[in-house]
Amino acid sequence: MPDTLPIVADPLVRFQEWMSEAWSHEPDDANAMTLATATPDGAPAARIVLLKGADARGFVFYTNLESRKGEELAANQRAALLFHWKPQGRQIRIEGRVERVTDAEADAYYASRPRISRLGAWASDQSRTLPERTELERRLATYEAKYPGEDIPRPPHWSGFRIVPERIEFWQNMPFRLHDRTVYTKTAGGWAIGKLFP
């Protein structure tokens, strides 16, 4: 049976190692992650979003603040993330509180997006009922005419969220379902590290 994972004091170091390996095996959206949110009364919802930044402060993604996830995160500022990389037999589970990114961070990422994506942020009433596809196309054409060049301001309803981790679990597939699970729990002094039964 393979050895269990060596203990690394900083979970972000292990995260960056695993993410780098994932990109080498999954060049299309290795940064895809499941985001789980809940309403104030506990009704859960999950969807795939893309990680756009990870550092000691947390894990960042961007969205329409008026979308379902945006509204749920505003009402219940706790969330969970899940990365799953099947070729490596790995998962990372992240749980924590949620905060908005700064306007400067949102502006910088928004400006890096392709033009059509920036226009789409204006055109789409994300998560709301779309009577027919032509309505989205009409709205997109309206904003293409309004902003004919590259100077497209960030919509006030579009920004990012940072998941500030309080618990991170690294799961490595092992033979006979005797998987290796290492869990990091945030404490006042840093990270407490432990193992979990598979």
Pick the catalytic residue from 68, 154, 167, 177: 177
For residue 196, what are the contacts with CB-CB under 8 A and spacing of at least 6? 169, 181, 182, 183
Tokens linked to 189: 């002094």
Q: Is 97 among the residues known to form the active site? A: no
Question: Could you tell me what percentage of the chain is helix, strand and coil, using 3-state DSSP and rounding each to the nearest 5?
Answer: 30, 35, 30
Tokens 């947390």 sit at which residue?
58
Q: Nearest 5 degrees, angle CA 63-CA 54-CA 79?
A: 55
Contact assessment for residue 52 and residue 70, using Cβ atoms and an 8 Å cutoff: no
Residues in a beta bridge with 145: none
Contact assessment for residue 165 and residue 58, using Cβ atoms and an 8 Å cutoff: yes
List the catalytic residues. 177
